[in-house]
Amino acid sequence: MEYLPSYVAALERGWSPDNIRGEAASREQLEAIAKDPHGFVAGLVDREAKQPPIRRPDGTTFPRLPGFVRWMWDGEFCGSIGFRWQPGTSALPSYVLGHIGYTVVPWKRNRGYATQALRATLSLAKKEGLAWVDLTTDTTNTASIRVIETNGGTLVEHFVKPAVYGGQESLRFRIAL
């Protein structure tokens, strides 16, 4: 709770934790925080997948996977990293592009925060019994590619994201745990 004001400040400054829905996602989070700040923070950890289903940008919904979001912090909010998994297997359902997603606020980029956060999250993924995790990124996101490769990621495939996720050429990396 003590870090929530810095998170809110990042949202109000124009950052979004959602690279597809952008400003709409930021507004939704600000509304949720205003309505129930304690509930919002508690919902960042959902190991039993009790939160509502995942709503994709096209309005379709899918069952939520267990997961959590952690905030990157250096005295103020720097970004977030989320991890989701399917219990009992390293595989993901077809509607999930990767196990781990992260974002750093623009004014804190190129300081190694994503690299450190991914490294820490990989150890947590291993504790969940996963043998590997998949991460995806756009082909033009050289910073993210560098973060993944620095953490042992190997390229698995080039693919085109489904249109609902923007339809961009993307890369899928795998990191053995």
Question: Would you give per-residue pLDDT tens digits along the chain (177 residues)?
Answer: 999 999 999 999 999 998 888 898 999 999 999 999 999 999 999 999 999 998 887 888 999 999 999 999 999 999 999 999 999 999 999 889 999 999 999 999 999 999 999 999 999 999 999 999 999 999 999 999 999 999 999 999 999 998 888 889 999 999 999
pLDDT score at 63? 93
Nearest Cα residue to 118 out of 67, 159, 157, 152: 152
CA distance 153 to 69: 21
pLDDT score at 1? 96
Exposure of 74 in the CB half-sphere (CA atoms within 13 A)? 13
Which residue shows structure tokens 């309505």? 35
pLDDT score at 55? 81
Q: Where are the domains of the chain?
A: 4-176
pLDDT score at 164? 83
pLDDT score at 90? 97
pLDDT score at 165? 83
Main-chain dihedrals φ then ψ at residue 172, nearest 5 degrees:
-110, 125
Question: Domain 4-176 belongs to what topology?
Answer: Aminopeptidase (3.40.630)
